[in-house]
Structure 1
Amino acid sequence: MTIWNLGSINLDLIYGMDRLPGRGETVAATSKAEFLGGKGTNMSVAAARAAARVCHIGAVGPDGRWAKDRLLEYGVDTRHIAQIDSPTGHAIVAVEVAGENQIIIFSGANRAIPPELVSNALAEAQTGDILILQNETNAQVETAQMGKELGLRVCYAAAPFDADAVKAVLPFLDFLILNAVEAQQLQTALGTAISDLPVRDIIVTKGADGAEWICTETGSNQAFPARKVQAVDTTGAGDTFTGYVLAGLDRGMPMAQAISQAMLAASIMVTRHGTADVIPDLKDIQDLML
């Protein structure tokens, strides 16, 4: 099977900070590094490193060929990544010593993906494949609807969070992943409990407090504790988690096993500085399980 990812592609500029700046404040960075990133890219790389077949649908600018080449090196199918006139997306990430971050995103080509690119890509999809989307591209609603009509398992990672964006794709979703803050914001916006949403599987991630899986079909909830580590950078941890969950499901794992594997991957990710380039591979996870 295949995981189809309508996802962002960014150059991540990551600055180490003793502390994050407040409003109107200037704080000197202690380090600078450049990585391949974007929520979509991170998820594609994570899923590929977890042994899934991943096809990325997206766009880069004239300055972005390097990103497409890097994704290919990491095992991601890049045939449906277009080069367009808009500049490649980028993110400016400030990371303090405790691992927390602030992120500024310039969408660029990520919000100008040609609609025909999506339809051409999904013409190759098969019933039962997985489709993942995040709120960093255009064409989310049309793609989710197309995926539903084609019999794909449609998943949405609700970040960067926008209640209207979630509401727009909600009728087409089989699977929703969001963090605890986003879950509370969505409940407030919709006036309904997360467990009452018309989505079969919902995962709420809680950082160091683990994650919760809600299966609305059975009415069951299951908690998953986080592995205790010393975090140095939380950037990309949620994306790594998502990619590993989807890869596990694609490989036939039960949801609980896929989540447990993803929790280990995320726990490794937060001990590393960087984004897509430092996502752990399946051997890293297996070594922890020995």
Structure 2
Amino acid sequence: MATFWEAPFHFKHLIVQGITMAVFNFGSINIDHVYSVPHFVQPGETLSSSNYQSILGGKGANQSVALAKASSQVFHVGAIGASDRGFTEQMKEAGVNCDFIRKMSDIASGHAIIQVTPDAENSIILFGGANQTISNEHIVSALAEAKPNDWVLLQNETNAIEKIIEEAHKRNLNIAFNPAPMTASVKQLPLNKLTLLIVNEVEAEQLTGESDVEAIKVSLKSSYPTTKILLTLGKAGVWFVEGGVEEFCAAFKVDAIDTTAAGDTFIGFFLAAYQSNMAIAEALKYACAASALAVMKSGAGPSIPSVDQVTAFLQAQ
């Protein structure tokens, strides 16, 4: 049987035919203030920056854009400072439904102050801001629009994670959680109620206390037997684990320029493929291809490829 990128039909056709479900992404929206500096600023020092950029970022926003570019129907649920509403227009242009993004008049957007040196090292100060204002009413009103078999996607850059999981589970929705950045509080969440847990190797080590990949898989399966696991290993590839079924996909070898949003791109494209009933092996390869294309360009949102670009990349392999 031909894979979807070899067949005469396009992956978008699966979306048009209604095979896919909607994704409600409760996610962060950050404004990244990026300064190019000769070295990290020292205490008491005033340092001039040679370049400045204000860029849409945040794991939540990145993953919503990736889902939209993968032709998934995605509703972003979150908040942003009213003065930064222009950044939501960028998300809309990518195809993200922003009806559930609230504009806060009295709270600043989540943002990051990022220093970048000529050696590409960075130093980051993160402010949660509006990302930490998701209320019970906001959660309930958004999920009231969800239909059976729809998905809820979460990262660890907003508040109310436990409430969102509980409310989604109560409504029998599929739940995917990417606990990044990893914190001690993640272990206290009802992870057994997840449909899909997405962790990189470092996050998995912190969650399980194991350092060996095989031991990590055993521990995750034991702790969360009904939850599917995506264990991403960067350049080494990715594992999908569901009960006794394990599927590995090697990463594509490319010349990486910028790994920003590579993981978010993988998540968006995998979830779009997975919810459209693509075979696991093909969904992993599809998402790995999207991630490979992302690291070949600079920036977060601008580096996330389209379905056409991913398909062309796979056809060329």
Q: Same fold (TM over 0.5)?
A: yes
Determine the C-alpha separation between the residues in 1 that align with 2:121 and 2:269.
22
Which protein has the larger Cα radius of gyration, Structure 1 or Structure 2?
2
Query: How do 1:125-144 residues align onto structure 2 when only pairs under 5 Å count?
Result: 125-144=146-165
Alignment of 1:29-178 (within 5 A): 31-84=51-104, 85-94=106-115, 102-178=123-199
Contact 2:25 2:77 in 1 (8 A): yes
User: Map of 1:260-271 to 2, 5 A cutoff?
Assistant: 260-271=285-296
Unaligned runs of 5+ in 2: 1-20, 211-215
* 1:256 alignment counterpart: 281
The aligned residue for residue 205 of structure 2 is: 184
Change (3 A) 1:236 1:73: same
User: Partner amino acid for 1:121?
Assistant: A
Distance between the aligned counterparts of 2:198 and 2:259, measured in 1? 17
Q: 1:13–1:93: 8 Å Cα contact kept in structure 2? A: yes
Q: Write the letter of the residue equivalent to 1:204.
A: L
Shift, 1:148, TM fit: 0.9
The equivalent of 1:232 in structure 2 is 257
Secondary structure of the 2:190 match is helix
Residue 247 of structure 2 contacts residue 280 of structure 2 at CA under 8 Å; is this kept in 1?
no
Alignment partner of 2:147: what SS?
coil
Which of the residues 240, 245, 256 maps onto 1:213?
Answer: 240
Cα offset, 1:170, TM superposition: 0.8
Contact 2:193 2:227 in 1 (8 A): no
Per-residue deviation at 1:278?
A: 2.9
* Aligned counterparts of 1:98 and 1:271: Cα–Cα separation in 2: 18
Structure 1 31/264 Cα, relative in aligned 2: closer, same or farther at 3 Å? farther
TM-score (normalised: structure 2): 0.82
Provide the C-alpha distance between the structure 1 equivalents of 2:35 and 2:295, rounded to a whole number of angstroms. Answer: 16
Asked whether the equivalents of residues 36 and 277 of structure 1 are also in contact (C-alpha less than 8 Å), the reply is: no
Report the equivalent of 1:12. 32
Alpha-carbon distance in structure 2 between the residues aligned to 1:28 and 1:233: 24
Provide TM-score, normalisation by structure 1.
0.89
Q: Which runs of 5+ in 1 are unaligned?
A: none
CA deviation digits over 1:223-272, x for unaligned, max 9? 21111112121111111111111111222212332221111111111121
% identical equivalent positions: 35
- 2:129, 2:108 → 1: CA distance? 5
How many residues end up aligned between the 2 structures? 286
Task: Decide whether the 8 Å contact of 1:42 with 1:275 is kept in 2.
Answer: yes
Residue identity in the other structure for 1:224: C
Give the deviation of 1:106 after TM superposition: 1.1
Matching residue's letter, 1:243: G
Q: Which deviates the most, 21-30 or 263-272?
A: 21-30
Deviation at 1:95, TM superposition (A): 5.3
Distance change >3 Å, CA 112–CA 48, structure 1 → 2:
same
2-side partners of 1:253 and 1:101: how far apart?
Answer: 38
| CA shift for structure 1 position 115 | 2.3
Q: Secondary structure at the match of 1:128?
A: coil
Higher RCO structure (Cα 8 Å, ≥6 apart): 1
